[in-house]
Amino acid sequence: MPRQKLPIGIQTFREIREDNCYYVDKTRLILQLVQEGKYYFLSRPRRFGKSLLIDTIAELFAGSRALFEGLYCSDQWDWSRQFTVIRISFTEGVLGGAAGLDQRLREILASEQRRLGIVCINQSLAGILSELIASAHAQSGQRVVVLIDEYDKPILDYITQSDQARAIRDVLRNVYGVLKGCDAHIKFAMLTGVSKFSKVSLFSGLNNLNDITIDTRYSSICGYTDADVDRVFAPELAGLDRDEIKRWYNGYNWTGDAVYNPFDLLLLFQKRAFGPYWFETGTPGFLIDVLLRRPVFTPKLGSIVRSESLLSTFDVDQISPDALMFQTGYLTIASVWRIPGRQEFTLKYPNLEVQTSLNNSLLQALSGNDNLPESMIGGLYRLLLANDFSGMQSLFTAFFASIPHQWFTNNPIAHYEGYYASVFYSYFAALGLDITAEDSSNAGRLDMAVRFNGHVYLFEFKVVELDQDGRALAQIKSQGYANKYLAGTDPIHLIGVEFSTVKRSVVGFEVETLSRGTMLL
């Protein structure tokens, strides 16, 4: 199979097809959407191919048959009919708050009028869009396709400025509500975005949207599956460790096949080196702010259990950290538990890139130091390789000592009991190690278990007022937390860590290594 051009950053279906770029065929799923319904909503993280999906749908309805040669839909679509497509995109964002949004929407609608040769006489935004849809239907004799890309970006750009965000939300609600009243003129409509705002807050006038965000049939409508990678990108795989590709970038799941973020894979194939490409393109600062404003226990981030309704709850005045992390792609679905009338999701980090990069950013935020030296994280890795436990204690002591006094004073999270354990956990998670937080057994729940380099490290954390009292290590032993690991052959290290709220540092770091055949009762 010959190599093709990598479509890095290309969101235009025509350019991909005409320039002989790799393309993963999504037209079977698009046809299924058209055949099964009319109004759709899809939430996916940034840089996941939402804009390319919207552009592909637009070209399909426009009847651009030549672009689809060789794809699934080429002999499944009625090419004799063409539909007018009206598109609204906020991919570039909006400046100037609600007033800027009003101006930007008027520019978009004016551009669509010029393109279609239609002149609207209404003055309000809702009136203009409604008139445009009806006029386009009358002009062509065919009902109209309406596509809205990154519908929520104007709100997310101002999500930390509540008054501005509310004003923007109200403008958008008036515009999006038009679609329901234009039902007789619409053939197909789809909105895409990152976040799923509640229907009450943003879609009160559009309650007929079919949300396919968590739908097994459409889990892979954006992103690449393992089969896609092996089939479409086979020429790019030579010289790359296939298992590492999967560990680094696969794992995003919306209850169907797990998928890769396209941006990550395309840059990997170009640069031939593993790196946090998606994470580095703009992790939203407000995500870290939200996590730090509330006492979030970072060891739980990789094993959160939530109902479907909670994951869908998102509004300007009600931002759930769990829903935010899920919708923005920093957590994904690990498993689903279904009972009558209810679904519960266990969430996890999707892959190594997100686990390491997010915890690295959290470490910077938890220390008040945006320039946290990478050498400190790398230093922990070298200490683990050598099983240098005294060196580990010195490293963590130095870390807490480096935090400015005023940061402790000005940040309520520093007084949260889970703060110290969160720092400890994020250090290990930033290395991409095999970690189980709050590891359960019939003996109770251990704070953290780490498997690395043929060793098992069992950690228990305690917060004391001033000096160590040995309770952390004693609890590991008395509760028999190590028993579940004794059947293996890996050396087991019991580590009790104690933090002082007065000294704001590690005051106890006791280690006991078990010999084979040892049993804790």
Contacts of 511 (CB under 8 A, 6+ apart): 389, 473, 493, 494, 495, 496
Q: Is 343 exposed, middle or buried (0-12, 13-18, 19+ CB in 10 A)?
A: middle
Element (H, E) at 311: helix 308-311
Query: How far out from the chain centre does Cα 396 lie?
Result: 30
Show pLDDT as tens, one digit a residue, over the chain (521 residues).
789 999 999 999 999 999 999 999 999 999 999 999 999 999 999 999 999 999 999 999 999 999 999 999 999 999 999 999 999 999 888 889 999 999 999 999 999 999 999 999 999 999 999 999 999 999 999 999 999 999 989 988 888 788 998 899 889 988 888 998 899 999 999 999 988 776 556 666 666 789 999 999 999 999 999 999 999 999 999 999 999 999 999 999 999 999 999 999 999 999 999 999 999 886 666 777 777 776 667 787 877 888 877 676 677 777 778 888 888 899 999 999 888 878 888 999 999 999 999 988 888 888 777 766 566 788 899 999 999 999 999 998 888 888 777 777 777 666 666 788 888 888 899 998 989 887 766 656 888 999 999 999 999 998 888 777 788 999 999 999 998 888 888 899 999 999 888 888 889 999 999 865 554 44
- Identify the pLDDT of residue 315: 74
Structural domains in the chain, sorted by start: 25-216 (3.40.50), 366-514 (3.40.1350)
Decide the pairing of beta strands 318-319 and 314-315: antiparallel
Instruction: Give the separation between CA 52 and CA 175, rounded to whole angstroms.
Output: 23
Quote the pTM value. 0.90
- Identify the pLDDT of residue 521: 44
- Identify the pLDDT of residue 302: 75
Name beta bridge partners: 508: 498
SS3 (DSSP) at 338: strand
Instruction: Give the separation between CA 179 and CA 427, rounded to whole angstroms.
Output: 49
- Rg of the chain on CA atoms, in Å: 26
Q: Is 424 exposed, middle or buried (0-12, 13-18, 19+ CB in 10 A)?
A: buried
CA angle, residues 368, 374, 377, in degrees to nearest 5: 90
Query: How far out from the chain centre does Cα 171 lie?
Result: 27
- Identify the pLDDT of residue 468: 74
Per-residue buried b or exposed e for 455-482, using 16+ beta carbons within 10 Å of the residue's own CB: ebbbbbbbbbeeebeeebbebbbebbbb
Q: How far is CA 20 from CA 2, 13, 55, in A?
A: 11, 11, 17
Query: How far out from the chain centre does Cα 123 lie?
Result: 39
